Structure 1
């Protein structure tokens, strides 16, 4: 659902008291809420809990287990090479925010540019090596502290560290099938037949060709080896989250819940989408998120019918809906939560009718989701509920599986983890530890009928649905939650955020007293 671009955080200066509270208090508070300056009254906006803490031993054990699992999937007499992400230029001498390559981070937790992980498997014997840039005081003056060898070992748990300046010497030794010996006496033996790199999945893999261009260049140098793509190894491993990973992902979700709550509280006193967007960026920074997992979508009225609307330049108009699709990233794990709610705090009849269909589709998916169920079953369940709802409202004339796709044109969801659209196969049954998004939607774009081919079938369709279309046009609704597959079913990781029509209306009535936006002048 999300376009993968980079941008710079916009810092908001909107401050208000944030404290822990239970949503069970919303109904009472909506009737008797005192001004937010009264510290004796608990806030209905849930502040994200403290970030999870891990000892060095816990982190090292987690990373060692991941590396062991990766090595188990390597063929005998092979070497896996994982390179750091390349720096991406923004403009001139300004670079984008640096983000480490996911799979290298998954196995090492190292954020240092220029780091390279080598895992060598000789028979069943596995050895691990890190090439890390040597600390350079002149570079540190400009860009901050680099890892010492001790830092790299403490973070990753890998004991053998080699100066990254010797990487080219190691590559030359690989090319000639000779053993490598570093200036510090570290030896990496020969006898290797297979090399594993992160590589594009063919010429048509545009994202892979862009992200792994450097790896492709290295792989092309080795003519006398079996070159293998390492991505399937990580696609399999990362699809099942460990308890350690789930704690990190839950924290990203908790930060996102707070950002959504603040936005719901501020929308009634805002005049522009960017003002509500600012609440998201403010919360992400205040709660120490690394960044966003994808550019935030804040779309009001007709803008809510554009799936990847990320401009945040429209007016906030009472009586319209606002769609908020946002996700914080924390320690490389991204949340992905969408809420659609009324600017004035109350759904109109037409808005509620569309919203309830989407809500019911979400509920239907959650009821059937459990280990052993294929992802395609979830998609079919959501489409069935939406199709029945659209037919009932007169927005389609047939339950043929095609007409409904005019208003629900995307998939039910996707895997979630280190990428917002995380790696993993969709043809495998659900299993404990998988995390996916449950995000049905309906989008009635005002020009949707204008671009249908002029055929007798389409003319008849347009004629029959026109009254309902005029009634519901410009309504866009998506509801998205993050679900963890458990042994017995699923857990709603984003359950603290109001979702039903009554809960949203009650929450907004209470929360709107806690945050008041101050629009910029002039408009």
Structure 2
């Protein structure tokens, strides 16, 4: 891994939070992700499952975590199974975690090789009444591929028919949404790396540059700062490309007078950052571009102030919609009749601002976290309003990642990343 070691105290705390909510005589199992094939003998780069990483820090394939707080033998209350290495694997793939390393990374005392899992797990299941399965219940999930977790659940249901079943996800939604101090430090590091990439871009951008060249500049800066790369597929959208919300081709030339919307973020230690900035190719906004830019910035600033403990996510989005409506009226994009005659299910502002304003962020870019209960301190949300005007050939979105505080406005993890239009112009024209 490129990132520096993470204190295992973080993973100890995370496990304790999870186990505190488990039912008596219950056991929970968490599987690593598969290494997914492409074609021939190719595979995609391995990405650890966020839940098992959150609970033990083991960033390696073929790993299983078992939590059993009521196990009769105390050594079985936390058990980690890792892939046994050998000389062949060491030569061809590199070293895997030894038992001692797995213990140091996770803070778990009982480490077994994966080959021992079936025997140990059967023994533990004779003591357990309920098993927690870790299904993906994220509100945006649309997974069609069978996962390692899915196969494990099928096998368990076949072999242990008398056991009750419970869901890990509600517990994870609750505890993963509220970040520990160590997590906030890792997210700050990801945001700081993103800042380095953005400042590099401001010096590099000029008419004639290609979107993919900007993508490459970001990647260069991210990797040289211990990131493995982008936290998600980057959007480098010049001109009218910015009006395609998930434009990822990044293959067009940037023309003088156009704007470039860049939705990018570095990962660090599997934690995500998520930034959007919109800059002028020529280093200076036109009067109209700046007018729209400042409208988006105003909505962003006002929305940020609402992210405080007690706020309800759905109500927050309605309030942001009212602010955006006012700005669109001021820009002449809507008139009063549009607002008076709007369909409450699809407000008039949605013509120019069609996506949500905020989502949880953490180990996943669209992270786990409760959305139907009041917001809590140390939740981390993006704030990302935008105005998209195809008829004028540009779209503008601005986005930062902010931490809800016990009192006062959120703390902006991206406060050092240039945002004001005048500062961006000044840096681009140095």
Alpha carbons of structure 1 residues 53 and 144: separation in structure 2 relative to 1, 3 Å: closer
Alpha-carbon distance, 1:131 to partner = 1.4
Output the CA distance in 2 between the equivalents of 1:201 and 1:317: 43
Alignment gaps of 5+ in structure 1: 1-49, 174-179, 181-187, 447-472, 511-523
Rg: which structure is higher? 1
Alpha-carbon distance, 1:270 to partner = 4.7
Deviations 1:189-210 (A, max 9, x none): 73211001112449x9633865
Alpha carbons of structure 1 residues 336 and 200: separation in structure 2 relative to 1, 3 Å: closer
Alpha-carbon distance, 1:378 to partner = 3.0
Match of 1:220 in 2: 157
Alignment partner of 1:434 is 2:379: yes
Alpha-carbon distance, 1:275 to partner = 1.1
Alpha-carbon distance, 1:303 to partner = 0.5
Match of 1:506 among 407, 422, 426: 426
Output the CA distance in 2 between the equivalents of 1:325 and 1:205: 21
Output the CA distance in 1 between the equivalents of 2:136 and 2:287: 49
Deviations 1:392-418 (A, max 9, x none): 233223224622101100001100000
Match of 1:66 in 2: 14
Alignment partner of 1:94 is 2:31: no
Match of 1:487 in 2: 406
Match of 2:168 in 1: 230
Alpha carbons of structure 1 residues 71 and 315: separation in structure 2 relative to 1, 3 Å: same
Aligned residues between the structures: 417
Match of 1:3 in 2: none
Alpha carbons of structure 1 residues 434 and 220: separation in structure 2 relative to 1, 3 Å: same
Match of 2:57 in 1: 109
Deviations 1:111-136 (A, max 9, x none): 22111111113289771111122221
Deviations 1:304-360 (A, max 9, x none): 111111111111101000011001111110000000011111111221121111111
Alignment partner of 1:274 is 2:212: yes
Match of 1:194 in 2: 130
Q: Select between 385-394 and 115-124 the one with higher mean Cα deviation.
A: 115-124
Alpha-carbon distance, 1:380 to partner = 2.5
Match of 2:278 in 1: 340
Output the CA distance in 1 between the equivalents of 2:152 and 2:191: 33
Deviations 1:80-137 (A, max 9, x none): 1111111111222111111111111111111221111111132897711111222211
* Secondary structure, counterpart of 1:412 in structure 2: coil
Contact 1:199 1:208 in 2 (8 A): no
Q: TM-score, normalised by structure 2?
A: 0.92
Contact 1:358 1:478 in 2 (8 A): yes
Output the CA distance in 2 between the equivalents of 1:483 and 1:51: 23
Q: TM-score, normalised by structure 1?
A: 0.76
Output the CA distance in 2 between the equivalents of 1:200 and 1:250: 27
Match of 2:301 among 363, 375, 386: 363
Match of 2:32 among 70, 81, 84: 84
Match of 1:251 in 2: 189
Match of 2:97 in 1: 147
Deviations 1:45-72 (A, max 9, x none): xxxxx97765xxxx22221111111111
User: What do you get for the CA RMSD once the two structures are aligned?
Assistant: 2.2
Alpha carbons of structure 1 residues 281 and 201: separation in structure 2 relative to 1, 3 Å: closer
Output the CA distance in 2 between the equivalents of 1:278 and 1:206: 29
Alpha carbons of structure 1 residues 487 and 328: separation in structure 2 relative to 1, 3 Å: same
Alpha carbons of structure 1 residues 251 and 51: separation in structure 2 relative to 1, 3 Å: farther
Output the CA distance in 2 between the equivalents of 1:132 and 1:371: 40
Contact 1:263 1:280 in 2 (8 A): yes
Output the CA distance in 2 between the equivalents of 1:440 and 1:205: 23
Alpha-carbon distance, 1:167 to partner = 1.6
Alignment gaps of 5+ in structure 2: none
Q: Select between 376-385 and 131-140 the one with higher mean Cα deviation.
A: 376-385
Alpha-carbon distance, 1:492 to partner = 1.0
Alpha carbons of structure 1 residues 258 and 378: separation in structure 2 relative to 1, 3 Å: farther
Alpha-carbon distance, 1:233 to partner = 1.3
- Counting only pairs closer than 5 Å after superposition, residues 123-522 of structure 1 correspond to structure 2 as 127-171=77-121, 173=122, 180=123, 188=124, 190-201=126-137, 206-207=142-143, 210-211=146-147, 212-221=149-158, 222-268=160-206, 270-397=208-335, 398-399=338-339, 400=342, 402-446=347-391, 473-488=392-407, 489-510=409-430
Higher relative contact order (CA 8 A, sep 6+): 1
